[in-house]
Amino acid sequence: MTVTEILGPDVEIKIQDFKKRFTKEMELSMYEDKFMFYRFLKARDFNFDQAESMLRKHLEWRKEFKIDKIMTEPFKLDKVEEYITQCYIGNTKEGSIIKYFAYGKMDFKGWRMSSKWSDRIKSTIKLTEHEKAALDKQVEKTGNYLLGSTYIIDMKDFSFATATDKHLISEIIYLLNIYQDNYPERLQNVFLINVSSYFVLVFSILKSFLSVGLIAKISIYSSPADWKPELLKYIDAEILPAFLGGNKTDPDGDPLCKSFVHHGGKIPAELCIHKSKNSIAKSKDAKKLILPRATFSEIEVEVKEPGSLIEWEFEIKCRDIGFGLFLKERDDEGKEKINALVPLLRLDTDEFSETGVYKCEKPGTYVMLFDNSYSWVRSKEIYYKAAVVSPKDCDKKLTN
């Protein structure tokens, strides 16, 4: 079916007019995806200027986080990802993919203690890109170009400590904004089940960051007597696992369907990278930096050979700090310009030090930026290490 047949001739004209604003900004395959343009338009109620701003920010985000490479680029989080409580459980009656999240049982503290914030962002984006690819296949299979994902988010055993965890709430808000800003109109239904009064505490904060359209897709249930029949309106009983009110079990009759459903569990202590076990503050080669309130500091690193690695590690005594990596260059007129290589992020190292590595494509002056300009009250005490690894030693570093 064509866009006109699905959405109508008026919407087809709006999409064509909107596309004209992006004739040179994206690859041909993306530019030819009319429903991509439609989703960004719909997310902004067909306000062309707002939709254009949203889509341009999305294109910049794709470049900053290297989305085109994220599906194939390895990073060391495999063992921890085994404890992420989300999985596919089938398709709805109309063909939408179904993802189940056992968030009530997820070890959020262990997830934070055993991984870096930057890697958690990358992992979440990678899982969302996998979901996007799976949904696109369903669209091709069903011919329904307006399909979206269906989420079942199980809050059973969600604790008061988790509901009031400031770190967790901040991370959820950040990741929700990534999802809303870059995957618009890809969500069809959200079923929040086994919700307790504890969840109300955190949801009262989160919903102020959610769009009106997304909130409208969320249904909240506390009693199985309410949510089980509701799920069966959308999902065949033979598809829905028995513990969710359907008939599907594992071959051995297990109603929890553990062969394909991730139910969570505590992350083993041996995977923890908490900085109390390996703090760099007492390291002889660590440098100390006191960053007053409302200021920033640039640490210059000279790279002489292309293909070199810049490695860094830092920790803060309390709260968070902005960090990014930049390259100083000069344009054709000899004016100095700054190119962002690692996007500026506010990072909290209360529980572990932040480490990173960047492979330099060219020699030059690289700048590690520590940013405390947003804080008008507190100075920050930072301990950091920085080193340049020559190309001949890079392979060893990258595989270790």
Q: Which domains does the chain have, with CATH numbers?
A: 3-52 (no CATH), 81-271 (3.40.525.10), 280-398 (2.60.120.680)
Angle between helices 34-43 and 48-64 (to 10 degrees): 120
Q: Strand, helix or coil at 274? A: coil
8 A C-beta contact, residue 158 and residue 222:
no
* Per-residue tokens: 244: 């969710």
Q: What pLDDT was estimated at residue 396?
A: 58
Query: Torsion over CA of 145, 18, 24 and 67, rounded to 10 degrees?
Result: -40
Using CA atoms, how far residue 55 sits from 18, 38, 50, 128, 173, in Å, is 11, 11, 9, 18, 20
* Per-residue tokens: 320: 């968070």
Q: Strand, helix or coil at 6? A: helix
8 A C-beta contact, residue 188 and residue 96:
yes
Using CA atoms, how far residue 136 sits from 6, 132, 279, 371, in Å, is 16, 6, 45, 40
* Per-residue tokens: 241: 């696992």
Q: What residues form DSSP beta bridges with 320?
A: 348
Q: What pLDDT was estimated at residue 399?
A: 43
* Per-residue tokens: 17: 């007019």
8 A C-beta contact, residue 89 and residue 241:
yes
- Could you say which DSSP state residue 294 is in? T
Query: From CA 176, how far away is CA 319, in angstroms rounded?
Result: 22
* Per-residue tokens: 182: 């870059």
Query: From CA 90, how far away is CA 264, in angstroms rounded?
Result: 19
Strands 187-193 and 149-154 turn out to be parallel
Query: From CA 99, how far away is CA 366, in angstroms rounded?
Result: 42
Q: What pLDDT was estimated at residue 397?
A: 53
Q: What residues form DSSP beta bridges with 323?
A: 345, 370
Q: What pLDDT was estimated at residue 114?
A: 85
Long-range contacts of the stretch 230-237 (C-beta < 8 A, 24+): 230/191, 231/152, 231/191, 234/92, 234/93, 234/94, 234/150, 234/189, 235/90, 235/92, 235/93, 235/98, 235/150, 236/93
Burial of 232 (0-12, 13-18, 19+ CB in 10 A): middle
Sign of the torsion formed by the C-alpha atoms of 165, 318, 270 and 173: positive
Q: What pLDDT was estimated at residue 115?
A: 85
Nearest to 266 by CA among 45, 145, 110, 156: 110
Residue 289 CA, chain-centre distance (Å), reads 30
Q: Quickly count: other Cβ atoms within 10 Å of residue 394's Cβ.
A: 17
The beta strand positions in the chain, using DSSP E, are: 86-91, 97-101, 149-154, 187-193, 218-220, 287-291, 296-303, 309-316, 320-330, 336-348, 354-359, 364-371, 380-389
Q: What is the pLDDT along the chain (400 residues), one digit of tens a residue?
A: 667 788 889 999 999 999 999 988 888 989 999 999 999 999 999 999 999 999 999 999 999 888 988 877 766 566 787 788 899 999 999 999 999 999 999 998 888 888 888 888 988 999 999 999 999 999 989 888 889 999 999 999 998 778 878 778 888 989 999 999 999 999 999 999 999 988 887 888 888 889 999 999 999 999 999 999 999 999 999 999 999 999 999 999 999 999 999 998 888 888 887 655 567 888 889 999 999 999 999 999 999 999 888 989 899 987 889 999 999 998 778 788 888 888 788 888 776 778 788 888 899 999 999 999 999 889 999 999 999 989 887 655 554 5
